[in-house]
A and B are shown apart, each in its own frame.
Chain A
Amino acid sequence: QVQLQESGPGLVRPSETLSLTCTVSGGSISSYYWSWIRQPPGKGLEWIGQIYYSGSTNYNPSLRSRVTMSIDTSKNQFSLKVSPVTAADTAVYYCATEMGSKFDPWGQGTLVTVSS
């Protein structure tokens, strides 16, 4: 079955760029939508945005001005960039498969801390 794994730096300086990659295994990225969701420590879930294999994107309006998503079908990977970051962007970032608006499965998540 499809599995997802996030990767990227765990520490980012304020005002710089957060960059994460999600690698999809056990299935092709050339189907479904692929999403990023984050969870600040001790808080709830926030949808960041989604990307289709064609490259079309849809972002949360609250983050749209700072978010960029891309997809590399040859590597079965999709990516997230957030810039510039502040301490409020400190969170566990999850990638997930989006099928008919439901998220399943999810990656294990990666903690990104924004601090100088």
Chain B
Amino acid sequence: QSVLTQPPSASGTPGQRVTISCSGSNSNIGRTTVDWYQQLPGTAPKLLIYRDNQRPSGVPDRFSGSKSGTSASLAISGLQSEDEADYYCAAWDDSLNGPVFGGGTKLTVL
């Protein structure tokens, strides 16, 4: 059972906009920023969004993040086949005194 809650799966067709939610509590998302990671099949996770809505260099602006209260969301617009991957949210947790991850959402491009 992960500290942060994500839907196990999401899907969309090419060109569509999809969103992935991440729910936490006042000991994590409610107190600090959220990061998102993309894990393509058979590879290591890669930082996709940091500090709620910042994109590292090289990440397309099709990817965006937002946060409200104790929940966060990742939005992917103009969905492409290469976006098919697992997506994880993460945030520092004051109770754990360390970072916690969501259980991951498997995105399928139909």
Q: Chain A interface (Cβ within 8 Å of chain B)?
A: 44-47, 49-50, 58-61, 94, 100-109
**Closest 9 A/B residue pairs (Cβ):** A104-B47, A106-B44, A45-B101, A102-B50, A44-B104, A102-B35, A44-B103, A101-B92, A47-B99
A44 to B101, CA, bound (A): 8
**Between-chain CB contacts (< 8 Å), 21 pairs:** A44-B2, A45-B45, A45-B104, A46-B101, A47-B100, A47-B101, A58-B98, A59-B98, A60-B96, A61-B96, A61-B97, A100-B51, A101-B91, A102-B35, A102-B50, A103-B37, A103-B45, A106-B44, A108-B43, A108-B44, A109-B44
List chain B positions with a Cβ less than 8 A from chain A.
Answer: 2, 32-33, 35, 37, 43-47, 50-51, 56, 88, 90-92, 96-104
Chain A interface mostly helix, strand, loop or mixed?
strand
CB of A71 to closest CB in B, whole Å: 18
Residues of A within 8 A of B88 (CB): 44-45
Which residue on B lies nearest to A6, using beta carbons?
A: B44
Chain B residues with CB under 8 Å of A104's CB are: 46-47, 50, 56
Residues of chain A within 8 A (CB-CB) of B97 are 58, 61
| Contact present for A107 and B92 (CB under 8 Å) | no
List 8 extra interface pairs beyond A103-B45, A104-B46, A108-B43, CB under 8 A.
Answer: A44-B2, A44-B88, A47-B98, A94-B45, A101-B32, A101-B91, A104-B47, A105-B46
